[in-house]
Amino acid sequence: MPHRLPTRSWGLSRPSALNAGAVRAEKFWRWPVLVALMCTIPAFYIELLESLPTPLAVAIYLVAAALVTTSLWRVARHCSHPRQYLRGNLLDLCLVVLLPVAALIPPSNESQAALAIRLVIAMLTLLRMVWAVKSWVTRGGLGYLLLLSLLVLGMCGVGFWALEPRASTLGDGLWLAFTTAATVGFGDIVPTTAASKIFSVFVVLLGYAVLSLVTAAIAAMWVETSERRMEEDILRDLHAQLRSVHQELAELKDELRQRREPG
């Protein structure tokens, strides 16, 4: 019987559970790809800021493209229908093409077109990272999501500390990252430079993504708890009915045995 691929989601699909080799390869390469894509965010700012060397950003983009390509190839070679799997992962295929483009085009501070292209690639990268962790939206994944949210906010705080002159301490950077991610905007510290304003866009998107995942995981925990209680009640009723049936059968057996006995 041919293996079926799951329904596409966000231009991506995971291999069928029946393909054990493909599932193992996808799980193995998920984390290296996720870390490499996360590194492309500081690479974007390395290209944007004049004082930082661009060869490092080029290397990060190329390494991320190589890891995404390797992941696709490794998983596809274990799938029973590799072409169908590749067609179901259009976002990864786009990143395979666009990440080298981000590495080879002129620096962002020299070309508005290059800046716009890298912004589009960064948005696609964020979408790919959110898709990679969406399986954590379960009752058991709440702890992982909380750790992820702390990590993301911490990295965003360091980013604001480095990019925003008004964030003179790491605490100010963390505070600005939290208020930006939560879309509160108290106004005591605000982005003032072009780099920090662009960075705030990423922080808002990351904040929406991470906080939404945490909220969804908490909601899933409550829903699953209610469903489990309902299942327990149903099972309790079924057990009670089975006991009554067993008792009635035992009484019928005793009655039949008594009728068969002479006199």
Give tens-digit pLDDT for 156-190: 888 888 888 888 888 999 898 888 888 887 888 88
Better pLDDT: 34 or 13: 34
Residue 108: the pLDDT is 83
The token pair that represents 260 in the structure block: 């068969």
Q: Which helix (DSSP H) or strand (DSSP E) does residue 6 occupy?
A: none
Q: Provide the CB-side half-sphere exposure for 207 (13 A, CA).
A: 20
Question: Is pLDDT above 70 for 227?
Answer: no
Domain ranges of the chain: 1-135, 137-263
64, two tokens:
């991320």
Kindly report the backbone phi and psi dihedral angles of residue 9, in degrees, each rounded to the nearest multiple of 5, phi listed first: -145, 120
DSSP characters over 97-132: HHHHHHHHSPPTTT-HHHHHHHHHHHHHHHHHHHHH
pLDDT in tens, 93-115: 999 999 999 998 988 888 888 88
What is the pLDDT at residue 85?
81
Percent of the chain with pLDDT over 70: 86
The answer to whether the beta carbons of residues 189 and 166 sit under 8 Å apart is yes
Query: 137-263, what's its fold?
Result: Helix Hairpins (1.10.287)
Q: Which two tokens stand for residue 221?
A: 């925990």
Put simply, whether the predicted model's pTM sits higher than 0.85 gets the answer no
